[in-house]
Copies of this chain bind each other. A is one copy, B any other.
Amino acid sequence: MPSIALGSEETLARPAPSSPVTYAQTGVRQDLVALALSKLLEGTKGRIPPGSGEPLKLPGHFAGIVRIGRESVALTTDNVGTKLLLARTLDRWEEVGEDVVAVNVNDLSAVGARPSALVDYIAVQSPVPSVFEALGRGIGRGLKEACCHLVGGETSVVPDLVKSLDLSGTALGFFPKGRAPVTGEKLRPGDVLLGLSSSGFHANGYTLLRRLIEENAIDITRPLPGDPMPLGERLLAPTRIYTRPVEALLAARLPLALAHISGRGLRNLIRLNPKVQFTLDALPPLEGIFRWVADLSRLPTEELYQTFNMGIGFVLAVRPNHVERSLSVLRRSGGKDARVIGRVEKGRGVYLPNEGVRYDSY
Q: Pick the residue among B33, B51, B127, B172 that contacts A36 (CB under 8 A).
A: B127
User: Per-residue CB proximity of A61-87 to B under 8 Å, as 1/0?
Assistant: 001111011110101111101101100
Question: Which of A110-118, A277-285, A299-307, A348-356 lies on the face that meets chain B?
Answer: A110-118
Is A3 an interface residue when CB atoms closer than 8 A count as contact?
yes
Question: Which of A145-153, A321-329, A337-345 lies on the face that meets chain B?
Answer: A145-153
Is A130 an interface residue when CB atoms closer than 8 A count as contact?
yes
Q: Do A158 and B150 form a contact, CB below 8 Å, given A43-B136, A116-B52?
A: no
Q: How many Å lie between the Cα of A136 and that of B35 in the bound state? A: 12
Is A42 an interface residue when CB atoms closer than 8 A count as contact?
yes
Q: Do A119 and B39 form a contact, CB below 8 Å, given A9-B156, A147-B48, A155-B4?
A: no
User: Per-residue CB proximity of A166-179 to B under 8 Å, as 1/0?
Assistant: 10101010101100
Contact between chains at B75 and A172 (CB < 8 Å): yes
> For A122, what are the chain B residues with a Cβ–Cβ distance below 8 Å?
40
> For A155, what are the chain B residues with a Cβ–Cβ distance below 8 Å?
2, 4-5, 33, 36-37, 40
Contact between chains at A40 and B139 (CB < 8 Å): yes
Contact between chains at A129 and B1 (CB < 8 Å): no
Q: How far is the CB of A346 from chain B (nearest CB, A)?
A: 31
Q: How far is the CB of A206 from chain B (nearest CB, A)?
A: 10
Is A131 an interface residue when CB atoms closer than 8 A count as contact?
yes
A37 nearest in chain B by CB position: B155
Give chain A interface residues in 23-75, CB to chain B under 8 Å: 29, 32-33, 35-37, 39-46, 48-49, 51-53, 55, 63-66, 68-71, 73, 75
Number of identical protomers:
2
> For A227, what are the chain B residues with a Cβ–Cβ distance below 8 Å?
none
Is A123 an interface residue when CB atoms closer than 8 A count as contact?
yes
> For A129, what are the chain B residues with a Cβ–Cβ distance below 8 Å?
32, 35-36, 39
Q: How far is the CB of A145 from chain B (nearest CB, A)?
A: 10
Contact between chains at B69 and A152 (CB < 8 Å): no
Q: Which 10 A-B pairs have the closest CB atoms?
A: A64-B151, A43-B136, A2-B153, A40-B136, A170-B170, A36-B127, A43-B137, A39-B133, A53-B116, A36-B132
A contact residues vs B (CB 8 Å cutoff): 1-5, 8-11, 29, 32-33, 35-37, 39-46, 48-49, 51-53, 55, 63-66, 68-71, 73, 75-79, 81-82, 84-85, 97, 114-117, 119-123, 126-140, 143-144, 147-166, 168, 170, 172, 174, 176-177, 207
